[in-house]
Amino acid sequence: MSVVREILVARHPETVANRELRFVGSGDSPYTLRGAQQRDALAARIEAWAPAALYVSPLLRARAVAEAADPAGALTTVLDDLRELDFGEAEGLTWEEIEARGIPITRLGPGPVARGGEAVEVFGERVARASAAIVDGRGRTAVVTHAGVMRRLLTLWLDLPPEAGWRLHVPNAAVAVVRFTGDHAALAELRPPAE
């Protein structure tokens, strides 16, 4: 059986909000010094991967990696469906602040993850659309996105239930490679943060 497709999927580098353990979904946050170093390492990893296509979230914390890996933008497609979950009232807050404000959090739905946020089922549909666009092709592909989206993509590709995604620890700048052979996908590689 021959390999039909390989997809490298990476989480964006560390941001100030990540360092402060804040929910950052639809908003953005600048890189920490470590994050800037991870951006360069991740961009080099993607360049070495030599993808035929590079898909990226529109949020700057992911997009900056693609801009470094593909400065001319010849391979890059920005997919709005790769943006992180909108956390609504929880956006920008820590767990302690969320609890202090009494904001209920729903991880598996139905409904929004937090008041005013994106519904879990809408998020799932959106990531499924992104997945369809990404796997519709041949050759090596790279994706730079967010923890929630990366978890959901992996559960889709590996035919796992959506709730299994919460069991996947996805640190900033972590990289996974999924190999598709016929209608079967397997996790071929899982690496800690690129640094």
pLDDT, tens digit, 9 for 90 and up, residues 173-193: 999 999 998 778 999 988 877
Residue 100 located in a structural domain: no
Q: How many domains does the chain have?
A: 1
The chain-wide mean pLDDT, for the chain, equals 92
What's the confidence (pLDDT) of residue 1?
A: 47
Which residues of the chain fall below pLDDT 50? Answer: 1
Can you tell me the distance from the alpha carbon of 17 to that of 100, in angstroms, rounded to the nearest whole number? Answer: 19
Residue 138, in any domain of the structure = yes
Confirm whether 93 is domain-assigned: no
- Percentage of the chain modeled with pLDDT above 90: 76
The reply to whether 77 falls in a domain is yes
What is the reported pLDDT for 173? 96
Please write the tens of the pLDDT for every residue from 112-147.
Answer: 889 999 998 999 999 999 999 998 876 799 999 999
The torsion angles phi and psi of 28, rounded to 5 degrees, stand at -135, 165
For residue 97, being part of any structural domain is answered with no
Enclosing domain of residue 39? 5-85+119-191
pTM over the 0.75 mark? yes
Buried-state track 64-96, b at ≥16 Cβ within 10 A, e below 16? bbbbbbbeeeebbebbebbbbbbbbbbbebeee
Q: Across the chain, where does the E strand assignment appear?
A: 5-11, 53-56, 76-78, 139-145, 175-181, 184-191
- DSSP secondary-structure letter at 86? P
Q: Which of 74, 69, 104, 91 is nearest to 23 (CA)?
A: 91
Q: How much is the pLDDT for 3?
A: 56
